[in-house]
Amino acid sequence: MTLHGKTALVTGGSRGIGRAIVHRLSALGARVVYTYRRDAVDLRRDGVLAVRADQADPGALDAMFAPVRACGLDILVNNAAIAPSIPLAELTGDDFDRVMAINTRFPLLAIREAATLMRDHGRIVNLSTLNTVVAGPGLALYCASKAALEQITAVAARELGPRGITANTVSPGQTDTDMLRATAPWERIEATAAAFGALGRVGTADEVAAVVAWLAGPDAGWITGQNIRATGGLIV
């Protein structure tokens, strides 16, 4: 598979799964623009450009799309998100507004903007989470925001399908990232994966990136409106 001649835009590409996606798409030959909120990471690859964009600010859309307006777009990957753990009894309206703005509103507006720039037979891949079917305490806002994004993806598949543009969701399970390691002691995370996962281990960011890259490539042109659960068999 090759992505030579393709232009990709990846949100939240400076660390974790997003960084692995940037690496994978770039290695396959795509020109990649990625966003970051705090510190850009030098990925040291030709054809990779970092743009600062805070998804809490809808105005950041202009900065994010500026590098691709002239050349057009082939691939959009909505990866950036936040996952605060807030018990129901403690969450506020401000918490709701912030999580929904970052995890749902910004990706939705990005899809709308991308559709005007994207060439026919383009690819949209949105990152969700296993937690939309395996809910966890404190994750009401995270689960709700990602479930909404899954439905937006399905609608985008219907609306953009006549142009050959596909829209799919990838829902990772336990993946070795800084975000996962911050949730619990590593030994407990590994024990959970061993007890409940068909493959018996925690996944890697590169493994999730490989699924995203496949959906972004030419071999997945007949796949749209789907939610690929890249979980190592946590749900079978």
Collapsed DSSP state (helix, strand, coil) of residue 32 = strand
Question: Which residue in this structure is represented by tokens 């009401």?
Answer: 140
Cβ–Cβ < 8 Å for 115, 167: no
- State the helix-helix crossing angle for 106-117 and 140-160, rounded to 10 degrees: 20
Cα-based distances in Å from 195 to 54, 119, 167, 189, 235: 38, 44, 33, 10, 12
**Strand 118-127 relative to strand 166-172: parallel, antiparallel, unpaired?**
parallel
Is 34 a known active-site residue?
no
Beta pairing partners, 78: 126
Active-site choice (142, 197, 212, 215): 142
Max CA distance (Å), the chain? 50
Q: Is the separation of the CB atoms in 189 and 174 below 8 Å?
A: yes
Cα–Cα distance measured from residue 226 to residue 229, given in angstroms and rounded to the nearest whole number: 9
CA distance 70 to 115: 14
Rounded to whole angstroms, the Cα distance separating 113 from 107 reads 10
* CA 180/CA 175 separation, integer angstroms: 7
Task: Report the distance separating Cα 130 and Cα 175, nearest Å.
Answer: 11
Q: Which residues are catalytic?
A: 142
